């Protein structure tokens, strides 16, 4: 029931954000009143994108919650807590890349495993808790925001949404191919979150040159910067996931779960 309620809340918030984005983008009256003048030219795109993402995540949570209707077991809670702890620990093992960013030691894999074992609904909830922990460790980054709206953007895009979407991996099923598809899909969603944040919030720290190219467009810079390390992390996570799938297949498939 909690997952369903949270899904409804996310859909309502997403709908509100989408409406604000559309009004600010196409509504002459809103533009004339200057409702979004302090939020920058990117505000309409931001609200539309976040509205769609939140509504989509909320819909998946509602469908999953209604479809399952199963009692959460102690084993499920313990396993999820352990995976969150393992993922948090792995997130501190980071390999810095030459062009910026860093690749963690498959810190998303524990969340992916839980999502496939217990389904995307529980996976989203587990990933959401993980995102809050990451936010606590990354509060210093929020201080770089130059406005309240940007601070909220950092919290949502670089932490809450970026990590929570990983919990959707289980929606593809429990086979090896499903795990691979889930990794690609959720990592693309996470990249989009960081991409929007980079182009909108971190544009003020865009260097004059990156990867040997002159940087004048924050969208291109964000795509290169975030795409570089996210692609590397996706490949590493995929390799490890495929290697461990066979020996842990029963776990991925949810076998021997306490009733």
Q: Between these two residues, 11 and 241, which has the higher pLDDT value?
A: 241
Q: Between these two residues, 207 and 162, which has the higher pLDDT value?
A: 162
Q: Which residues contact 185 (CB under 8 A, 6 or more apart)?
A: 168, 169, 172
- Size of the chain, expressed as the number of residues it contains: 259
Mean pLDDT confidence for 90-113: 90
Q: Which 3 state secondary structure label does DSSP give 96?
A: strand
C-alpha span between 28 and 246 (Å, rounded): 57
The fold of 71-252 is Arp2/3 complex 21 kDa subunit ARPC3 (1.10.1760)
Q: Which residues contact 179 (CB under 8 A, 6 or more apart)?
A: 112, 116, 169, 172, 241, 242, 245, 252
Predicted local distance difference test score (pLDDT) of residue 41: 59
Predicted local distance difference test score (pLDDT) of residue 32: 39
Q: Between these two residues, 244 and 25, which has the higher pLDDT value?
A: 244
Using alpha carbons only, how large is the chain's radius of gyration in Å?
19
Q: For 8-54, how does the pLDDT look when each residue is reduced to its tens digit (9 = 90+)? A: 677 777 777 766 665 555 544 444 344 455 555 566 667 777 777 77
Predicted local distance difference test score (pLDDT) of residue 139: 79
Query: Domain extents for the chain?
Result: 1-69, 71-252
Q: For 139-171, how does the pLDDT look when each residue is reduced to its tens digit (9 = 90+)? A: 788 777 777 777 778 888 899 889 999 999 999
Predicted local distance difference test score (pLDDT) of residue 57: 79
Question: How sure is the predictor about 259, in pLDDT bands with cuts at 50, 70 and 90?
Answer: very low
């Amino acid at each position: 029931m909690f997952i369903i309620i949270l899904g409804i809340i996310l859909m309502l918030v997403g709908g509100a954000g989408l409406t604000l984005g559309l009004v600010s983008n196409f509504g002459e009256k809103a533009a004339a009143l200057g409702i979004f003048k302090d939020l920058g030219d990117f505000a309409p795109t931001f609200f539309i994108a976040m509205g769609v993402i939140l509504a989509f995540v909320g819909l998946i949570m509602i469908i999953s919650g209604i479809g399952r209707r199963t009692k959460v077991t102690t084993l499920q809670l313990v396993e999820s807590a352990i995976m969150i702890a393992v993922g948090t620990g792995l997130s501190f093992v980071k390999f810095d890349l030459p062009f910026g960013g860093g690749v963690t030691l498959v810190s998303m894999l524990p969340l992916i495993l839980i999502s496939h074992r217990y389904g995307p609904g529980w996976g989203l909830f587990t990933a959401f808790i993980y995102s809050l922990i990451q936010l606590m460790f990354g509060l210093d980054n929020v201080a770089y925001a130059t406005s309240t709206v940007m601070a909220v953007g950092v919290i949502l895009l670089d932490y809450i949404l970026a990590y929570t979407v990983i919990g959707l991996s289980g929606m593809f099923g429990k086979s090896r191919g499903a795990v691979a598809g889930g990794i690609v899909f959720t990592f693309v969603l996470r990249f989009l979150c960081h991409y929007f944040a980079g182009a909108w919030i971190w544009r003020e720290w865009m260097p004059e040159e990156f990867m040997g190219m002159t940087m004048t467009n924050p969208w291109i810079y964000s795509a290169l910067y975030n795409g570089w390390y996210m692609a590397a992390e996706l490949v590493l996570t995929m390799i490890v996931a495929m290697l461990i799938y066979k020996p842990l297949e029963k776990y991925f498939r949810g076998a021997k779960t306490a009733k």
